[in-house]
Amino acid sequence: MNAPTTGAAAAAPRAEATRVERMERLLGAPHDPANPLGFPAIAAAGPGSPAQGWETVLDPAERVALFVPPDLGGGFCGVAELIARLRPVYRRDPATGRAFAGPALARAPLLWDEAAPRESRLQAARELRSERPAPQEPPRTGPGHPAGLVRAAMAMAAMDTALRLTLDFARDRRLYHGTVTDLPHARAALADAFARLLRADALVAAAARARPEGNAAPTACADAAALTDAAQTAVSTVLRPAVEDLGVVLGARSYLHEGRHAAFARIYAEVDALDPGRDPSVGRLLLRRLQTTDAQAPVGGALSALADAPLWVGDPQADRAVRACAGLMARTAAAARPVTEAAPAGAAAEEREAFFTELADRFADSRSFTTERSPLLW
């Protein structure tokens, strides 16, 4: 039985796989009460509002470095890299992420399109450099646009934290002469949420790697657009049900705006904003979901497409890694269904246990629960 993550997936093509991401270090220790971007300070922010003082840490220079291409004076070098660098922000607090990255993602279609008029692109870059760009509704970019993929990836970052908080609670909470993680039902719920997260994120990773490095223009690769579409659908399908199921394990604390696990309620409140299915450019996905009885169907279809076609250009190692992940996802489809829906009795117990072990290992090693398994602060 394979562990859910192969060595190949952990050794990502990026140079700093063993170092905590720069952005993570900028955000500081998550549980430090003195940290303005730590969980205690974030919990004090009003519902839906970013952490107070976030702009002094996540300033316009950071935004330019992340989103603006080099030919306009910034440091953007591809969607995969952006996802890795931006994830820490959404892991910490999606509401703050929205305030920080929202204006940039809204301008991304213009910024990243080398064929667009240069003056318009420069104007967009200037707006991002100023202190407070005017907030914008995300434009209709059409399905398959990389900005949508970035949003989907950030949703999984938020889900990472929801899962981490729930596990953090469950490991310590005593109930009926053991801990909550000793209860098979809670353990299964945690394992299932992890499986669903990995499944959706495998598609996100595949879609990100399908775009040639440095070129995020939407027409670069038709396969890339299709994978992006599939990734957004997958994320939209798993996000709310998984967060709901985690909320059941967390219990009353999933409803409180104070305490060690207060960030969970903040993530819950952001689920609609994070859900790619509510992006106007993927509105047709929404309608499709309203009409289908099998919410898993689009994901299943996208997964089988994954198994057959070559995925991207020039990265066979990543290709193997994500295929291995996707293969495991397909085999454990039963384990990945939301617990409140009809599920076959006796879904593979040993596969669930393998997921739980991997989850617990990553928690102990302070590694992300998303595909890249990168180090983080906890």
Partner 1 sequence: MRYPPLALAEELEARMGPAQAPGSPLSYRAACDHDDRGAYPWQASERLEEWGLADYAVPAAHGGRLEGIDRATHMMRAVARRDLTLAIGHGRTFLGAVSVWLDGRPEQARDLAKRLAAGERICWGLTERAHGSDLLSGELSATAEGSGYVLDGEKWLINGATDSGLACVLARTAPEAGPRGFGAFLVDKAELGAGEYRCLPKVPTYGIRGADISGIAFHRARLPRTAVIGSPDRGVETVLKGLQLTRTLCTALSLGAGDSALRLAAHAIRGSGRAPGPPHEAGLRLALARAYADHLLGEAVSIAAARAVTVLPGESSITSAVAKFLVPHTADTAVARLAPVVDWCAPPEDTARAFAKTRRDNRIVGLFDGNSVINQHAVINQFPTLARAETKQRVSPDAGDVFALSTPAPPIAPERMSLAALHGSSVVQALPTLVERVGAVTAEGARPGAGAVAEAARRLGRAHERVRVELAAYRPVALHAPPEAFDLARRYALCFAGAACLWLWLDNSDGTGTAGADSVDRAEALWADALWARAALARVLERLGDPVPEDPAAGDALAGAMWEQFAGGRLFSLLECRVEDE
Q: Which is nearer to partner 1, 126 or 240 (CB)?
A: 240
SS (H, E, C) 322-343: HHHHHHHHHHCCHHHCCCCCCC
Q: Which is nearer to partner 1, 9 or 243 (CB)?
A: 243
Give least dist CB 344 to partner 1, A: 8
Helix (H) or strand (E) holding 175: strand 174-175
Smallest distance, partner 1 to C-beta of residue 169, A: 11
Based on CB atoms, which residue is closest to partner 1, 50 or 241? Answer: 241
Tell me the backbone φ, ψ of residue 375, rounded to 5 degrees: -70, 150
DSSP reduced 3-state for 2: coil
**Least separation in angstroms between CB 340 and partner 1:** 6
Q: Tally the C-alpha atoms within 13 A of residue 118's C-alpha that lie toward its C-beta.
A: 3
Q: Which is nearer to partner 1, 187 or 209 (CB)?
A: 187
Q: How far is CA 251 from CA 29, 206, 260, 264, 349, in A?
A: 26, 34, 14, 11, 24
Applying CB under 8 A, which residues contact partner 1?
47, 174-176, 178, 182-186, 188, 240, 244, 247-248, 251-252, 254-258, 265, 268-269, 272, 277-278, 286-287, 290-291, 293, 339-347, 349
Nearer to partner 1, 70 or 178 (CB): 178
- Stated length of the chain: 378
Q: How many CA atoms lie within 13 A of 281 on its CB side?
A: 22
Min separation Cβ 184 and partner 1, Å? 5
Angle at 224 between CA 270 and CA 241, to 5 degrees: 30
Cβ 10 to partner 1 shortest distance, Å: 29
Token pair listed for 300: 């299943």
Q: By C-beta, is 128 or 263 nearer to partner 1?
A: 263
The residue (of 236 and 368) whose beta carbon lies closer to partner 1 is 236
DSSP conformational letter for 143: T
Residue 47 buriedness (CB in 10 A; 0-12 / 13-18 / 19+): exposed
Closest approach of partner 1 to the CB of residue 370, in Å: 25
Q: Return the number of the residue (1 or 345) whose C-beta is nearest partner 1.
A: 345
Closest distance between partner 1 and the C-beta of residue 74, in Å? 33
Are 29 and 38 a contacting pair, CB within 8 Å?
Answer: yes
Q: What's the DSSP call for residue 182?
A: G
Cβ at position 39, least distance to partner 1 in Å: 15
Element at 148 (helix H, strand E): helix 146-172
Report in angstroms how near the CB of residue 130 gets to partner 1 at its nearest: 29
- Using CA atoms, how far apart are residues 147 and 154, in angstroms rounded to an integer? 11
Q: Which helix (H) or strand (E) holds 287?
A: helix 283-291
Question: Judged by CB, which is closer to partner 1: 59, or 258?
Answer: 258
